[in-house]
Amino acid sequence: MEKKPPILIHPDARLRLKSENHEFTDDTVPFVEGLCRRGDEEGWLGLAAPQIGILERVFVCKIGDEYKEFINPKIEIVDENDVWSYPEGCLSIPKYFEGVTRPRTISIEYQDRNEDSFLEIYSDIESREILHEYDHLEGILFIDRLNRKQRRKFNATYKR
């Protein structure tokens, strides 16, 4: 039986560390497949490598009915003024949800498990999922994007 690394839970300091680029090896495919399989088994929308203590620029997101991997991604915001708010939650901050304002449309350049490169545009819920997981690579949690009032509410109500 495969041993699954635990999900790091806030305030674990490792969640605040910036990830390094992933170096492709013979372990890349099994590693990415493991992230996808774990997300599928648990019913999650996404999972970033730093959430399991691996500080590499790799995450997976459920896009449509399947998980898609994003390795060494670079994101550009299409229009800084076109934003929207929507409730977000996080595996690393269990049972807490709050509205987060994010850009509606992004452009993302990334590699897949085979080192093929892609440049794609995502909008709405898909861009939100990608931005949320991308933040983990930067050591950012969704609570860092809350306004002052929301942050006070979080500090008053969130218990680990």
Give the pLDDT confidence of 15-45 residue by residue, as tens digits: 999 999 999 999 999 999 999 999 888 889 9
**pTM for the predicted model, two decimal places:** 0.95
Cα–Cα distance, 129 to 122 (Å, whole number): 10
Asked whether residue 4 is assigned to any structural domain, the reply reads no
- Domain region containing 152: 13-157
Would you please indicate which residues are annotated as catalytic (active-site) residues?
133
Cα–Cα distance, 113 to 132 (Å, whole number): 21
Q: Which residue has the tokens 């049972």?
A: 95
Structure tokens at 139: 């050591």
Query: What pLDDT was estimated at residue 43?
Result: 84
SS3 category, 80: coil
Rg of the chain over Cα atoms, rounded to whole angstroms, equals 15
pLDDT 10s digits, 67-121: 999 999 999 999 999 999 999 999 999 999 999 999 999 999 999 999 999 999 9
Could you tell me the CATH number of the domain that includes residue 115? 3.90.45.10
Asked whether residue 5 is assigned to any structural domain, the reply reads no
Provide φ and ψ at 123, rounded to 5°: -135, 165
Is pLDDT above 80 for 2? no
Asked whether residue 7 is assigned to any structural domain, the reply reads no
Asked whether residue 109 is assigned to any structural domain, the reply reads yes
